[in-house]
A and B are shown apart, each in its own frame.
Chain A
Amino acid sequence: MTKKKTPAKEKPSSPSSHPHTHGQGHCLDLLKQLSAYIDDELPSDICREIRRHLGACPNCEVFIASLQHTVALCRHRPVPPLTSADRLNMRRTILDAANAR
């Protein structure tokens, strides 16, 4: 992963200081903002709040890791290169079609 944000570095809040009912409130709010979070598009105070939540919620931490992995896999999805013959053949087809009008 190339993202510089590593939620685990933020000191986790203790469960007693942040009562947490999983699947409600924070978790659902977080879900809506995850892409903006991993793309560094959120204000720093909201990022801090999210990191605090992640430190207290292992489920959300796993969820965000899986979303980051998804983005990383998409970025590295391989594409077979064109061959020189492909380039030449396609160019010929395009020009034939253009001149056929």
Chain B
Amino acid sequence: MPPQHPPVQGPDGFDRLYRDHVDLIHRYAYRLCGEAESAKDLVQETFLNAYRGLKDFRGEAQVSTWLYTIASRACIRMRRKRKGEPEHELSLDEFVPTSEGEFRLQIPMDGLSPEEALQNKELRQALDQAIEKLPPQYRMALVLRDMEGLSAKEVGTIMGVNERAVKSRLHRARLFVRRELSARGITHHDDHKSGGLRS
């Protein structure tokens, strides 16, 4: 992405910052939190912290990277406060299939685009639940890389880790979600055709 100028300081700085980035940060917050009210709380916390830090922002990073970083830190603080959610590591070993059946588990979407497949409410809920179950540092890597479309380098800057760590977390997060989705045995074909599970 190109550098975002002019800088956001000045009397109208916050208004411009908010107007230009609230939708971006809301989308990120919703993807991290998985539901509307928590996402709004996170957006507010992010922009409150940005408001307070605006005078110190020198524009070394892109504004969006700065806001993603503030939002990520705020998210971790808020989750710890609410859920006491412990950090835990996902080991690659736990995703090694131990049987032929496990290797061949499939995600039920053949022949459909991802948008069409996600019209299946059961599949959409399974995806939401799988992402929600991810430990925060893995969820963040998955959301920033696969949903927000940032590079591994940008994700590393936001999360305060190197690219290697980002790629490792992303891979494990994907394997986790894949296992959760494929193990559900969602019967998507008939649901999709009948429209019975669409919301």
Q: CB distance A73 to B109 under 8 Å?
A: yes
Asked whether, in the complex, the Cβ of A73 is within 8 Å of the Cβ of B51, the reply is no
The interface residues of chain A lying within 8 Å CB-to-CB of B124 are 77-78
Is B165 at the interface (CB under 8 A from chain A)? no
Chain B, residue nearest A32 (CB): B92
The CA of A98 and the CA of B22, in the complex, are separated in Å by 17
Contacts of A87 in B (CB 8 A): 22
Contact B47 A73, beta carbon cutoff 8 Å: no
Q: Is A8 an interface residue (CB 8 A)?
A: no
DSSP class of B's interface residues: helix, strand, loop or mixed? helix
Interface residues on chain B, size class: 35 or more
* Interface residues of A, count at CB 8 A: 41
Given A66-B182, A90-B40, A94-B44, verify A81-B109 contact (CB < 8 Å): no
User: Contact between B174 and A63 (Cβ–Cβ < 8 Å)?
Assistant: no
Which residues of A, 15-43, contact B by the 8 Å Cβ criterion? 22-23, 27-28, 31-32, 34-36, 41
Pick from A23, A70, A93: contact of B177, CB under 8 Å = A70
Query: Which A positions have Cβ atoms within 8 angstroms of B?
Result: 22-23, 27-28, 31-32, 34-36, 41, 58-60, 62-63, 65-67, 69-82, 86-87, 90-91, 93-95, 97-98
